[in-house]
Amino acid sequence: MTATLSVVLNLAAALVLLGFLYRQQRQHATFTVRVFTALGLGVVLGAALQAMYGAGSDVVRTTGDYLDIVGSGYVKLLQMIVMPLIMVSIVGAILKLRNASSLGKISALTIGTLMLTTLVAAAIGILMAKLFGLTAVGLTATEAEVARGVYLQGKLADAQALSLPNMILSFLPANPFQDMTGARKTSTIAVVIFSVFIGIAAHGIADKKPELFTSFDHFVKVAHAIVMRIVTLVLRLTPYGVFALMAEVVATSSYADIVNLLSFVVASYSALLLMFGVHLAIVAGTGLNPLRFARKILPVLTFAFTSRSSAGAIPMNVQTQTQRLGTPEGIANFAASFGATIGQNGCAGIYPAMLAVMIAPTVGIDPFTASFLAPLLAIIMIGSVGVAGVGGGATFAALIVLSSMNLPVALAGLLISIEPLIDMGRTALNVSGSITAGTVTSRVLGETDVAVFNGDAEPDADAEEKAA
């Protein structure tokens, strides 16, 4: 069988499975059921492709390129609506606020929760590294890992130049129109800040020029309705995107490399699951049912897991908070937007902590002393500010931490073979952390719609399909 024919047959099988997902949609299966069905079908297809052709074969690579049209295409559509969604939602929310103190409380609670949970996540990462006895001493490096180490060494200058004052300055939108294109790693926060200024400025003319304020308020409501309709249309494609993304990951993962570094994989996921339990405990502490919370956020965590993009998950993150958890739109947008860049529990908390503890013994440092752990935790919490919400954010966080602790950054390249597998879980935890921050902020301020939280409503995409 020629390679071309094999690719055609593989794509035909993928189309059959996509057709099954479409049939589920037409039969009005719930959004959650469709997402998890897509996840399972993606695993099956990916495993079948690898078993038949091998992870590095040209057939798998070409098939993946075509699947990428669906998977990465879906992620790009989500990224397309991130900035418009942030702008109209935050401006609209501020127009509804009675005073500026509400905005300050939302910001302080949201960012505070993100930073503190990142600190806890780092501590859990250190604990798991200790329990599993993780160390980089004696690990051998393949050609790919050496190349990755050289790449990381080249990026070290950028990480060392990123001081806390520079981080804070990078949040300010010197050119908001450039930031609307997502040109910088901190563009998301810059757009949030610009939107806040627009909302506050509009508030300032409410009494002096009420007719203009009314017109602007109406414009924002129209823009919001249109943007949310786009969000609904894009989110309907979630099962298809999850299927394609998962199939690619499974088909191209090296099982041999995973087995070689199995202890790090198991330790990483143990830390991720434990931190997710911390999120549930925090939610329970606010008086909400943690199991109901977990069930309602599973679909968005599934997408984050397969896409490996915290920023790409923002639209679905906001929708989950507002429509399933009863969090007001303004708070939901703040938490989702800031959570994609600040205080990522997985990428900026657990990962650099475990890496630092693993690498320290290679230079004769005992990582389990107070003199090492205290500055490590402080650096991780501060360094978690400004980590990008796209693939590679964990690498940047690791560079900041390792260089600040004077540890050899090139050794981080030893984990290149299992990086995608672990990054999936890290991204899901990042999104869980941002949702937790939004839920806590909403609950503390008494803004949570408990009836919505306790209800069993599906996202609007399903409701509109049923209505149609």
Q: Does 394 map to a domain?
A: yes
Please work out, in degrees rounded to the nearest 5, the angle formed at the alpha carbon of residue 419 by the alpha carbons of 382 and 269: 75
Residue 153 Cα distances to 398, 411, 430, angstroms: 12, 9, 26
The pLDDT, as a whole number, for residue 306 is 84
% of the chain residues with pLDDT over 70: 84
Q: Does 160 map to a domain?
A: yes
- Residue 190 reports pLDDT greater than 80: yes
- How many Cα atoms within 13 Å fall on the side-chain side of residue 301? 20
The pLDDT, as a whole number, for residue 398 is 78
The 10s digit of each residue's pLDDT in 292-337 is 999 999 999 998 898 888 878 888 999 999 999 999 988 998 888 8
Q: Does 54 map to a domain?
A: no
The pLDDT, as a whole number, for residue 180 is 86
- Residue 204 reports pLDDT greater than 70: yes
Please give the mean pLDDT across all residues of the chain. Answer: 83
Q: Does 277 map to a domain?
A: yes
Q: Does 30 map to a domain?
A: no
Q: Give dist(CA 250, CA 245) in Å, integer.
A: 9
Q: Give dist(CA 462, CA 69) in Å, integer.
A: 24
Name residue 318's amino acid.
Answer: V
- The candidate with the shortest Cα–Cα distance to 138, out of 23, 263, 237, 291, is 263
Q: Does 131 map to a domain?
A: yes
List the domain range (segments joined by +) for residue 331. Answer: 98-238+254-467
- The candidate with the shortest Cα–Cα distance to 402, out of 235, 155, 179, is 155
Are residues 430 and 304 in contact, defined by beta-carbon separation less than 8 angstroms? Answer: yes
Q: Does 58 map to a domain?
A: no
Name the band, by pLDDT with cuts 50, 70 and 90, for residue 465.
very low
- Residue 390 reports pLDDT greater than 70: no
The 10s digit of each residue's pLDDT in 128-153 is 999 998 887 765 555 555 655 665 66
- For residue 421, count other CB atoms closer than 10 A to its CB: 18
The pLDDT, as a whole number, for residue 228 is 80
Q: Give dist(CA 281, CA 279) in Å, integer.
A: 5
DSSP letters spanning 46-103: HHHHHHHH-TT-HHHHHHHHHHHHHHHHHHHHHHHHHHHHHHHHHHHHHHH-SSHHHH
DSSP letters spanning 136-192: -TT----HHHHHHHHHHHHHHHHHHT--HHHHHHHHS-SSHHHHTTT-STTHHHHHH
With residues binned 3-state (H G I as helix, E B as strand, rest as coil), the percentages for the chain, rounded to 5, are 80, 0, 20
Please provide residue 342's backbone torsions phi and psi, each rounded to the nearest 5 degrees: -115, 140
Q: Under DSSP, is residue 16 helix (H, G, I), strand (E, B) or coil?
A: helix
Name the band, by pLDDT with cuts 50, 70 and 90, for residue 467.
very low
Please work out, in degrees rounded to the nearest 5, the angle formed at the alpha carbon of residue 309 by the alpha carbons of 305 and 312: 115
CATH at residue 422: 1.10.3860.10
The pLDDT, as a whole number, for residue 431 is 94
Number of structural domains (the chain) is 1
The 10s digit of each residue's pLDDT in 351-373 is 999 989 988 888 888 999 999 99
Q: Does 49 map to a domain?
A: no
